[in-house]
Amino acid sequence: MRSLLNIFDLTKDEIFQIFDLAEYYVKHGIKNSLNKLVFSLFFEPSTRTEASFCVAAKKLGCITDKINIQNLSTKKGEDIKDLILTFNQMKPDLMIIRHFESGILQVLKNYCDCGIVNAGDGINQHPTQSLIDAFTLLCVKEDIKDLEVLICGDVINSRVAHSDIQIFKMLGCNVKVFCHPTVTQDEMLPGVKLCNNFEEAICNCDAVIMLRMQKERHKTRLICQEEYKNLFCLDQKKLKFAKDSIVIMHPGPVNRGIEICPDVLEQKNCLVLKQVMYGVYIRAAVISFLLDS
Ligand code: CP
């Protein structure tokens, strides 16, 4: 059974297959045609990802079980590998897992027969969020190739940023990053431009993706909330340097006034809630794609 742990688990053609399916669902609704068992295990808090996977799976006709992590026997010392082996015996078709440890899903994949979808692992990857972000941009801009995309904020600690950089590069965008001042160009993926000046970075951009300050993951490059706000918070003053046609995105949850100002969140070109809406269609397309593969 196929898994989606990393955006590189998909080819460019497969990404567009998922987009085509999501577009079909947007136009015609999600077809209730699957009779599969999907487990959802979230070891970290989530609003959007957990709920949208659950809605998507139910609309597809899957039997879904949202496992209550608070009541699991891992609290009694059970190893997570044994937990996955145990759930595997209930013959699920797919497990959707979020975990605080980067890379753990590569290990857990060896303990089950079904596919795993990475719903976010530590600072590593969040592939379905990056599919949502690229699909949202495609929906408003019609073509994605050669678009200038700026990713702004806590890039080093953001799994969304890591997956977004990969998908936007794969789809032919020019990706720029504006982040913590101590980050160097050597830490960027090849072809990703590190910018030192926000005004210069944003001036030719078609999209800016703002990121949440990942306080819970800060081990190095400490930055206080006030400093984050001064450096990154998207306000009208910063937007003066952008093109009128720019779109503003954020994977959520947004800390209002720290990452994006409340008035900017209400602008028409701010797509934060559209990203949530498309999340259900993309996640339905991912489930369907993986179960058909
Ligand atoms: N974007 C995202 O992963 O949001 P949640 O943490 O609410 O799932």
> pLDDT of 180-216, one tens digit each?
888 889 888 788 999 999 999 999 999 999 999 887 7
What is the distance between the terminal CA atoms of the chain, rounded to a whole angstrom? 7
Banded pLDDT at 75 (limits 50, 70, 90): confident
52 lines ligand 1 (CB under 6 A): no
Q: Which of 40, 44, 47 to mutate to test the pocket of ligand 1 (most atoms within 8 A of CB)?
A: 47
Q: Above 70 in pLDDT, residue 221?
A: no
Q: Identify whether the C-beta of residue 103 lies closer than 8 Å to the C-beta of residue 124.
A: yes
Three-class DSSP category at 60: coil
Q: Above 90 in pLDDT, residue 293?
A: no
Tell me the whole-structure pTM to 2 decimals: 0.96
- Residue 149 is inside which H or E element, if any? strand 148-152
Say how far residue 222 (Cα) sits from the centre of its chain. Answer: 23
Q: What is the pLDDT of residue 182?
A: 87
Give residue 89 CA to ligand 1 midpoint distance, Å. 29
Q: Which of 43, 48, 160, 255 to mutate to test the pocket of ligand 1 (most atoms within 8 A of CB)?
A: 48
Q: What is the pLDDT of residue 220?
A: 66
Report the distance separating Cα 131 and Cα 278, nearest Å.
10
How large is the average pLDDT for residues 255-260? Answer: 97
Q: Above 90 in pLDDT, residue 103?
A: yes
Q: What is the pLDDT of residue 199?
A: 92
Q: Above 70 in pLDDT, residue 165?
A: yes
Q: Which residues contact 197 (CB under 8 A, 6 or more apart)?
A: none
- The residue ranking higher by pLDDT, 229 or 220, is 229
